[in-house]
Amino acid sequence: MTNVPEMFGSMVFNDAVMQERLPKETYRSLHKTMETGNELDINVANAVAAAMKDWAVEKGATHFTHWFQPMTGRTAEKHDSFISPQPDGRAIMEFSGKELIKGEPDASSFPSGGLRATFEARGYTAWDPTSFAFVKDGVLCIPTAFCSYGGEALDKKTPLLRSMEEINTQAMRILRLFGNKDVKHVWTTVGAEQEYFLIDRKLRDRRRDLIFCGRTLFGASAPKGQEMDDHYFGAIKPRISAFMKELNEELWKLGVYARTEHNEAAPAQHELAPIYTTTNLACDQNQVTMEIMKNVAAKHGMVCLLHEKPFEGVNGSGKHNNWSISTDTGVNLLEPGKSPHENAQFLLFLAAMIKGIDEYQEIMRACVASAGNDHRLGGAEAPPAIVSVFVGDDLAEVLSCIEEGKPYKGDRSGRMEIGVSVLPSIPKDSTDRNRTSPFAFTGNKFEYRSVGSSQSIAGANTVLNTIMAEELGQFADELEKAKKGDFNKVLNDLIKRTIKEHKRIIFNGDGYSEVWEEEARRRGLANLKTTVDALPAFLMEKNIKLFADHGIYTEKEMRSRYAILLDTYNKIINIEAHTMIDMTRKEILPAVSRYNGELTQTLESKMAAADRLGTDIAHNMEEETLATLSELCDRAMTEVVMLETLAAKTDFSDDLERGTYYRDRVIPAMNALRATCDNMESLTARRFWPFPQYGDLLFHI
């Protein structure tokens, strides 16, 4: 039997361990630094480093690394040994405060989007004491932020930490206005549900598209897909449950509260839901989760696919980023309260979110844009590319009563008035029915469902934190001016006006339908279908101003994110196009040609026999199949030559032109080639097909 409480967090240098192992004075100053964000005294750093090293060595660590989250969306680590040679030939294990708080990795192999001049290749990593260090594979991992020498963020964590500070500042102003004196700190919390596919390793190894691109670029549908709805919450197969058991244990050791696991709607698709924690920890934990998923899958002879759309025709994968705001006194600020006073505060936070999403819908879409995620957003799959907010019918009714100053049904106290009326209880479950909304209020939190399964959640949460900070700041400005005694009236007017001005972003219907696209257009909402449409949001004046005003991204940093994301999109499409060309020329066409050869031979002997016997045949299998396949083969040849020609173009004036060209010319050519090849796949004898098919990949385990 595994002892979960004993195992849980056993590889994490968490608060309990710090309290136990650090001298009292050191622990206290460290905490103070964590709260104020000030620089750590070198003596304190030395003491923490020594305790951390002793602890890590006991856990089997021999090396340490500054663990950081560069713009690749993955994590990076460079291992250094604790071993320090001694003059007498022996070695001791050493780790200094300096090594703990600062590292200087070579930044030149990480994307910087123009931030790092070539003569200044070095960047530095700085310890983030608000995230816990942990031991993974014999290495002490120290979560760090990664910056250029000029101080610009080269990673995903730095802006996220800045946004955590900013929302704290602005939310505290609001709480003080509501007379709250106890709360000292506000932070956002996140629980990121992670979807993934598991497939057999040996099968994966025979498909170059999965190896190079993480998704299938070809594949005719299997006779069975997800139409029977027999996978979702279905019984978990032994091989999968062995994987899940080990995954849970590995994550528990690292302090990740993996709580629920179940099969998803698509065959071979699963989901892991963690228990929520503060946003920067949730972000670290999600990165760790993705890494451990891959490692554990490998141990079980499987491959974990985190791509947003590994298979055509079955659901893709996303991350449901559940987001809320909490106080250090344990109050969830998005929880509707029981008293009129609490409700007034709740409605103010709700209104701020609605306003923020409406005003910054383009950057909400841009922060989840990627080549992979384009297959979900803007593809034939929920959630749609149009950003809207789902609040559910009950809450929508409340908001409309506030806007119109009407009584709420069943409320005998008269008009729905903020600070006076009690909200109806809003059952959590009734709010979560709508699975098509990109951004849904689910009772006491918002669920941002557009995040891609392979993406870091840092970008999306940086945006959420910042737009919320902006709106709360604006509200605080207005409310702070209210004269004593007028507060409720000013508050009422503010919320009423906000609802009136921003209700166009609220949508409770089917986000999947064409009717909504029509309706959204009438409402003037953005519909940024592809990454190329979405990324220019990083350069919009209002967005640059927003992030600069709050000190989250400088304009330079915004431009660098734009450049990196666009470049990544272009590289991905380019690799996909070349992988398709390679597979078509070297595998698919030769295979179909071989089958055609066999058909030709059989046909000849058959025709000779038929002549002799004088039989009449209704359908000549060989003749018909051969005719169709020959024609398709030639068409595929034409299409692959076309794709080669298109993919060879390199003279673009900039990356946006290149991306636009990929979107408008290369991707359609890829789609055409795929359609022809999939058609051939469905007509070719199985033993001739050169790689595993959908039926094998999806139903093998």
What tokens appear for 180 in the block?
A: 């709250």
What 3-state class would DSSP assign to 126? strand
Among 77, 128, 155, 193, binds ligand ADP (CB under 6 A): 193
For residues 76 and 69, is the Cβ–Cβ distance under 8 A? yes
- Residues 6 or more apart whose CB falls under 8 angstroms from that of 287 comprise 69, 74, 75, 456
Among 322, 453, 461, 498, binds ligand ADP (CB under 6 A): 322
Work out how close the CB of 450 gets to Mg ion at its nearest, in angstroms, rounded to a whole number: 13
- Mask of contacts with ligand ADP, 212-241, x by CB under 6 A? ------------------------------
Using the rule CB under 6 A, is 264 a contact of ligand ADP? no
Strand positions, DSSP E, 464-573: none
What tokens appear for 595 in the block?
A: 């089958």
CB nearer to Mg ion: pick between 136 and 320: 320
Using the rule CB under 6 A, is 324 a contact of ligand ADP? yes
Among 131, 144, 189, 289, binds ligand ADP (CB under 6 A): 189
Nearest residue to ligand ADP by CB is 191
Which residues make up the interface to Mg ion (CB under 5 A)?
320
Among 45, 101, 273, 558, binds ligand ADP (CB under 6 A): 273
Part in contact with ligand ADP (CB under 6 A); list of ranges 102-110, 227-235, 321-329, 608-616: 321-329
What tokens appear for 191 in the block?
A: 């629980």
Using the rule CB under 6 A, is 274 a contact of ligand ADP? yes
Q: What sign does the CA torsion over 456, 544, 174, 496 have?
A: negative
Among 190, 290, 369, 401, binds ligand ADP (CB under 6 A): 190
For residues 215 and 674, is the Cβ–Cβ distance under 8 A? no
What 3-state class would DSSP assign to 200? strand
Using the rule CB under 6 A, is 276 a contact of ligand ADP? yes
What tokens appear for 322 in the block?
A: 């559940």
Nearest residue to Mg ion by CB is 320
Work out how close the CB of 200 gets to ligand ADP at its nearest, in angstroms, rounded to a whole number: 29
Partner from Mg ion, ligand ADP, none binding residue 273, C-beta < 5-8 Å depending on class? ligand ADP
Identity of the residue numbered 516: W
Q: For residues 572 and 428, give the distance between their C-alpha atoms in angstroms, rounded to a whole number.
A: 40
Per-residue H/E/C for 97-124: HHHHHEECCEHHHCCCCCCCCCCCCEEE
CB nearer to ligand ADP: pick between 69 and 189: 189
Q: For residues 288 and 258, give the distance between their C-alpha atoms in angstroms, rounded to a whole number.
A: 12
CB nearer to Mg ion: pick between 320 and 561: 320
Work out how close the CB of 321 gets to ligand ADP at its nearest, in angstroms, rounded to a whole number: 9
Partner from Mg ion, ligand ADP, none binding residue 332, C-beta < 5-8 Å depending on class? ligand ADP
Long-range contacts of residues 614-622, Cβ cutoff 8 Å, at least 24 apart: none
Among 215, 365, 445, 658, binds ligand ADP (CB under 6 A): 445
CB nearer to ligand ADP: pick between 31 and 262: 262
| Residue 555 burial (CB count, 10 A) | 13
Work out how close the CB of 258 gets to ligand ADP at its nearest, in angstroms, rounded to a whole number: 10
For residues 160 and 252, is the Cβ–Cβ distance under 8 A? no
Q: Applying CB under 6 A, what is the total number of residues that bind ligand ADP?
A: 14
Would strands 139-148 and 133-136 be described as parallel, antiparallel, or unpaired? antiparallel
- Residues 6 or more apart whose CB falls under 8 angstroms from that of 58 comprise none
Work out how close the CB of 325 gets to ligand ADP at its nearest, in angstroms, rounded to a whole number: 8
Task: Kindly list the residues in this chain that would bind ligand ADP in the complex (CB under 6 A).
Answer: 189-191, 193, 273-276, 322-324, 332, 444-445
